[in-house]
Chains A and B, each alone.
Chain A
């Protein structure tokens, strides 16, 4: 079945550092890929998505590129801020009905 693997956290960075959170997936066919973010005390919200190979999703300075050859969708940001502290979930949608399969989540902590 479908699965998503992402790096375990917590990831602790200083403000303005470069961020990478690795995500790889296993799926049949051609899934859509997503990054969702959960800020403290808030619900899950979509950060970015990509629907086909080589697509790049971007939002709020975050980027991720759909790499079919490596089945990856790594999340990057050039300069993190304290306000980026949250839990980040990589997910895919590939089955009929479009239900999401999530990775385990990565907690990011950014220190001033």
Chain B
């Protein structure tokens, strides 16, 4: 079936505006992950979902960042009052489950966010 999809592919916004990034995981995958890829910080974990719940939000950089998942499928990452340091590529990944340690995560193409 289809892979992980993300929208928009590119987003340019002004400092202080809110943005929403969307992720559609592979059908049937119960685990969903958000990562951020930036020049200064490399690839860093933000948050993950098992079903609709988020057991680990430790990677969210600040309280301006939030995420939700509904119906065990689509997830939205929201950044409020964007700052220039939020500019990065936001990656979503999904896997069949979160247990076992060896599950392959399948990544989407990412959303490239630029905050002016």
List A residues at the B interface (Cβ < 8 Å).
30-32, 36, 42-46, 49, 51, 89, 91, 93-105
Given A30-B101, A93-B102, A98-B103: 15 more A-B contacts, CB < 8 Å: A31-B101, A46-B104, A46-B105, A96-B56, A97-B55, A97-B56, A98-B31, A98-B95, A99-B45, A99-B48, A99-B59, A100-B33, A100-B93, A102-B42, A103-B42
From the candidates B45, B55, B100, B110, name the one contacting A43 in the complex (CB within 8 A): B110
User: Given A43-B109, A102-B43, A105-B43, does the pair A97, B48 have CB atoms closer than 8 Å?
Assistant: yes
Contacts of A45 in B (CB 8 A): 106-107
The B69-108 residues at the A interface (CB cut-off 8 A) are: 91, 93, 95, 98-108
In the complex, what's the smallest C-beta–C-beta distance from B9 to chain A, in angstroms?
A: 11
User: Given A97-B98, A98-B98, A104-B42, does the pair A43, B108 have CB atoms closer than 8 Å?
Assistant: yes
Q: Are A98 and B100 in contact (CB under 8 A)?
A: yes
In the complex, what's the smallest C-beta–C-beta distance from A61 to chain B, in angstroms?
A: 19
Q: Are A100 and B105 in contact (CB under 8 A)?
A: yes
From the candidates B44, B101, B107, B110, name the one contacting A98 in the complex (CB within 8 A): B101
- Bound complex: CA A105 to CA B35 (Å): 15
Contacts of A96 in B (CB 8 A): 55-56, 98
Number of interface residues of B (CB under 8 A): 28
Which one of B31, B43, B45, B109 has the greatest number of beta carbons of chain A within 10 Å? B43
Nearest A residue to B103, CB-CB: A98
Q: Are A98 and B99 in contact (CB under 8 A)?
A: yes
Contacts of A103 in B (CB 8 A): 42
Q: Are B33 and A51 in contact (CB under 8 A)?
A: no
- Bound complex: CA A98 to CA B4 (Å): 18
- Bound complex: CA A110 to CA B100 (Å): 36
In the complex, what's the smallest C-beta–C-beta distance from A66 to chain B, in angstroms?
A: 11
- Bound complex: CA A112 to CA B107 (Å): 30
From the candidates B42, B44, B101, name the one contacting A51 in the complex (CB within 8 A): B101
- Bound complex: CA A101 to CA B107 (Å): 14
Contacts of B102 in A (CB 8 A): 32, 49, 51, 93
